[in-house]
């Protein structure tokens, strides 16, 4: 194919497009900040290591540090507190539940589930009057949801 001016005019935009694409890709790559590394993966794997080495207390502490309290992690916090209660460390379970209740942006179902769990804590430690007061408060609540109560009891 002989070289002519028409072929050159078609080749120039093609080479320019490749060059501009390369420059834009390089600039975009440099301007994107790297996402901040979370400590979750480190704490999570440290907790797993403790579990595998049968160091239950250290594993629980590591998992607690790894879990930031938000609406997605409330079930995990409730499970950890339940584990403390079953283990006999009811004071720590009560502390976890009270910390959860202190959160200002809890939805009603989560709030009631945490109150039920705290009532279970009080009952298991023998503070029957506190457990009764919490349960009466739950019963008086206008938005009592049967499924919430059922999930909290189990």
pLDDT, one tens digit for every residue, the chain (154 residues)? 555 666 666 677 777 778 788 788 777 666 656 555 554 567 667 777 777 777 777 777 777 666 666 566 778 788 888 888 888 888 888 888 888 888 777 788 888 888 899 999 999 988 999 999 988 988 887 765 555 454 555 4
Statement to judge: residues 120 and 51 lie in one domain: no
Task: Answer yes or no: do 44 and 88 share one domain.
Answer: no
User: What is the extent of the structural domain holding 44?
Assistant: 38-67
Residue 113, CB-side half-sphere exposure with 13 Å CA sphere: 21
Identify whether the C-beta of residue 97 lies closer than 8 Å to the C-beta of residue 119: no
Structure token digits, residue 6:
């028409």
* pTM of the complete model: 0.55
Q: Are residues 51 and 103 in the same domain?
A: no
Is the same domain home to 78 and 146? yes
Cα–Cα nearest to 78, from 117, 47, 40:
117
């Amino acid at each position: 194919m002989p070289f002519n001016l028409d072929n050159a005019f078609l080749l120039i935009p093609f080479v320019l497009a490749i060059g501009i694409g390369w420059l834009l890709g390089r600039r975009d790559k440099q301007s994107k900040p790297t996402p901040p590394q979370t400590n979750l993966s480190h704490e999570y794997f440290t907790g797993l290591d403790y579990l595998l080495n049968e160091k239950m207390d250290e594993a629980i502490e590591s998992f607690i540090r790894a879990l930031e309290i938000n609406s997605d992690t409330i079930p995990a916090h409730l499970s950890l507190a339940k584990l403390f209660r079953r283990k006999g460390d009811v004071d720590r379970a009560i502390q976890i539940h009270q910390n959860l209740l202190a959160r200002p942006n809890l939805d009603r179902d989560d709030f009631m589930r945490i109150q039920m769990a705290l009532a279970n804590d009080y009952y298991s430690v023998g503070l029957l009057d506190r457990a009764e007061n919490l349960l009466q408060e739950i019963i008086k609540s206008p938005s009592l949801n049967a499924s919430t109560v059922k999930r909290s009891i189990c």
